[in-house]
Amino acid sequence: MSSARLPPESLDAIEAEAWALIEAGGRSFRAPFHAATLGTISEDGPNLRTVILRGADGPTRRIWCHTDIRSPKIAELRTDPRIGWTLYDEPSRLQFRAWGVAVIHHGDEVAQQRWQATVLNSRRIYHAVAAPSSISAVATGGLPPELDDARWTQEFSERGAANFVALETVITRLEALYLHHAGHRRASFRYDANGTRTAADWLIP
């Protein structure tokens, strides 16, 4: 029997389910949609990469991830703050796409709060000596050799805060696609800058 999710019957119910599932993906590594594809606009054209969802808030239409201030995606977003998201869960055959505008939190109160909530193990990558995506003469994880287990304490990990970015996307458009043998369903929602819904439509899948 197919495990695909039955689409809810109304646009309101689809929207509520979409945000609830995206929020759950941002809360737990066990939830579907915990890993997602984040798209920016680069000199080479569309630039996609996998990131971990670090939070979402349906009522205010926000999605969060964390990254390094030195990573190319930040430079791209400073040139063009538009973001595209794709989230897919194979067992339920459910895809969400979202579009929005980036707010880069670096060194502000939001970044500090999220850094404090970041567990020790997840802080490690922010200690890379060179910028993420920069070329290296040798195969390396990029972390400094002195960052061995003896030195790796909560106190030492605080140095990584300087590179930490909480990347907020203010969502202006959300789409849900349910693939189901009884009939696919596709729905689209648009939001203004305050998060107020301005459109809800069925689309031909």
Ligand X SMILES: Cc1cc2nc3c(=O)[nH]c(=O)nc-3n(C[C@H](O)[C@H](O)[C@H](O)COP(=O)(O)O)c2cc1C
Q: Which residues contribute to the site for ligand X (CB under 6 A)?
A: 35, 47, 49-52, 65-67, 71-73, 132-133
Task: Pick the closer one to ligand X by CB: 67 or 92.
Answer: 67
Coil, strand, or helix at residue 18? helix
Nearer to ligand X by Cβ, of 71 and 92: the residue is 71
Half-sphere exposure of 161 (CA within 13 A, CB side): 18
Which residue type, as a one-letter code, is found at position 32? P
Shortest gap between Cβ of 67 and ligand X (angstroms)?
A: 3
Alpha carbon distance 30, 37 (integer Å):
17
Residue whose CB is less far from ligand X, 51 or 103: 51
Residue 149 and residue 192: Cα distance in Å, rounded? 48
- The least CB distance from residue 34 to ligand X, in Å, is 9
Q: What is the smallest separation between the CB atom of 42 and ligand X, expressed in angstroms?
A: 8
Handedness of CA 131, 136, 140, 146 (dihedral sign): negative
Pick 15 or 76: Cβ nearer ligand X = 76
Q: Cβ(74)–Cβ(153) under 8 Å?
A: no
CB of 185 to ligand X, least distance (A): 28
